[in-house]
Amino acid sequence: MSIKIGFHTDAFNSSYWSFGQCLDWAHAHNIEYIECGTIDGVSWIHGLGYQPHVALWEDPLALRRKMDALGVRFSQIDAAFPLSRPEGATLGVEYVLNTVRWAHIAGCPSVDTTDDRYRPEGLTDREALDHMRRIYRIIVPVAERYGITINIEPHGYYTTKPDMMAEMLGFVDSPYLRMNMDTGNTFIAGEDPIAFLHRFRHRVSHVHIKDVSASLAASARGDLTGIAVSHCAIGEGVNAENIKRCLDILKAEGYDGVFSLECEGQGGPMLEQSLAWTKAALEASYAAS
- Can you give the pTM of this predicted structure? 0.97
Structurally, at CATH architecture level, domain 4-288 sits in Alpha-Beta Barrel (3.20)
Q: Are 179 and 153 in contact (CB under 8 A)?
A: yes
Encode pLDDT of 37-68 as tens digits. 999 999 999 999 999 999 999 999 999 999 99
pLDDT in tens, 149-166: 999 999 999 999 999 999
Domain ranges across the chain: 4-288
Q: Are the C-beta atoms of 182 and 76 separated by less than 8 Å?
A: no
8 Å CB contact between 114 and 139: no
**Model pLDDT for residues 99-131, shown as the tens digit of each residue:** 999 999 999 999 999 999 999 999 999 999 999
What is the structure's pLDDT at 1? 59
- How crowded is the C-beta side of 57, counted as CA atoms within 13 Å? 7
Q: Mean of the pLDDT values across residues 169-196? A: 98
Exposed / middle / buried, residue 187 (Cβ in 10 Å: 0-12, 13-18, 19+) = buried
Dihedral (Cα; 166, 171, 176, 180), 10-degree rounding: -40
Cα 276 from Cα 19, distance rounded (Å): 22
